[in-house]
Amino acid sequence: MEILTMPLRFLARVLSPAVDPIRRRLPTQISRGTKWLAWATLISNVGIILTGGAVRLTASGLGCPEWPRCTADSWISTPEMGMHGAIEFGNRMLTYVLVAICAAMFLALVRLWETHRSLVGLSIFILCGIPLQAVIGGITVWTNLNPWVVALHFLASAALVMAATMLLLRVKVELKHNGETGRPLVDGPSDGFARTMASVVIVSAWAAVVVGTVVTGTGPHAGDPGSPRHEFDAEFVTRLHVIPVYILCAATIAIIARQRMIGSSPAQQRAAWFLVAVIVAQGIIGYWQHWTGLPIGLVWVHMLGSALTVVAATMVYDRHRATYRTRGLGTPAEQPTTSTPPAVPA
């Protein structure tokens, strides 16, 4: 182990003179700016799902037919590639915006490693997940938009959305308690039944999202006219998709009823009612798009609902089962020390 870490320690010593002045300028406290960055991280990860959905729904999935290049001869789309090339290339460029936001989030937390290790870990997970997403996106192009790979691409984004939601909740609870340590994220009563229902909520929400990708892979919006589709019966997989949704509905109703009995906190109640609002909206849009032949506008809004389902289910789970406790807002930035001259004897 010592031999393995020696190159890293040597590299750290070599880079220290250049990196240390930058490091000293990084924040050492969680502030309102940290919270806004956490919001931006969550919104941008939801946003990239929507732009990716626009690529698929406009049949622009192979607008750039190569990866990482756009074509064999060009890194960017050309006027000859038309609207589809511009849409696909634009979505690829938005990845860099996402990287910039998530890198800023990481830099806002990295100096809190000793006290807020879990927050830094979440920011690292999100930041490292974005390049992985790009690679999966490249594989979708190489496989002619294979629906299984497309589903993996969406689910990886959903995992980043879940991590970003958890990060935001933890940053907000640190600010709420203004530097106090040991205050739990679960800020109200949560008995065994409520915690069990919270687990059912998160599992069934993810099951609904996963099966939803199978429904999508069976439907007509492949991303390109020549891309493969699942050969499942569309009616069957749609009915299969409804099963975890019904379980999610039942668990949500149960947890709301239990919250009223045990006097849950306002934050716990808001999380549960937000989930109710998302489920109702998703149900209306889901049936509407099914009955009207899957118009792209409704499918696109349903994709947004899928991302919000992950956000809402994560909030309910965290508000009842999270073990996180506040670590304080951090330590003040280093101040230059000044020496007091010794007193001269009279």
- For residue 289, the one-letter residue type is Q
Q: Are 116 and 109 in contact (CB under 8 A)?
A: yes
Output the pLDDT for position 345: 42
Collapsing DSSP states into helix, strand and coil, what is residue 233? coil
Output the pLDDT for position 342: 44
For 185-199, letters b (16+ CB in 10 Å) and e give bbbbebeeebbbbbe
- Least confident window among 97-106, 178-187, 205-214: 178-187
β-pairing verdict for 181-184 and 325-327 = antiparallel
Percent of all residues in the chain with a pLDDT value above 70, rounded to a whole number: 90
* Over residues 221-237, mean pLDDT: 88
* Over residues 197-214, mean pLDDT: 97
Output the pLDDT for position 181: 92
Output the pLDDT for position 10: 66
Concatenated DSSP letters for 129-163?
A: HHHHHHHHHHHHHHTTS-HHHHHHHHHHHHHHHHH
Rounded to a whole number, what is the distance in angstroms from the first to the last CA of the chain? 60
* Over residues 316-328, mean pLDDT: 95
Concatenated DSSP letters for 242-283?
A: HHHHHHHHHHHHHHHHHHHHHT--HHHHHHHHHHHHHHHHHH
- Residue 253 pLDDT level (bands cut at 50, 70, 90): very high
Burial class (CB in 10 A: 0-12, 13-18, 19+), 239: exposed
Question: Which tens digit of pLDDT belongs to each residue from 113-149?
Answer: 999 999 999 999 999 999 999 999 999 999 999 999 9
Concatenated DSSP letters for 275-343?
A: HHHHHHHHHHHHHHHHHTT--HHHHHHHHHHHHHHHHHHHHHHHHHH---EEE-SB-PPP----PPPPP
Collapsing DSSP states into helix, strand and coil, what is residue 181? strand
Question: Which tens digit of pLDDT belongs to each residue from 161-188?
Answer: 999 999 999 999 999 998 889 999 999 9
Rounded Cα gap, residues 142 and 126, in angstroms: 25
- Residue 69 pLDDT level (bands cut at 50, 70, 90): confident
Output the pLDDT for position 341: 44
Residues 6 or more apart whose CB falls under 8 angstroms from that of 146 comprise 140, 227, 228
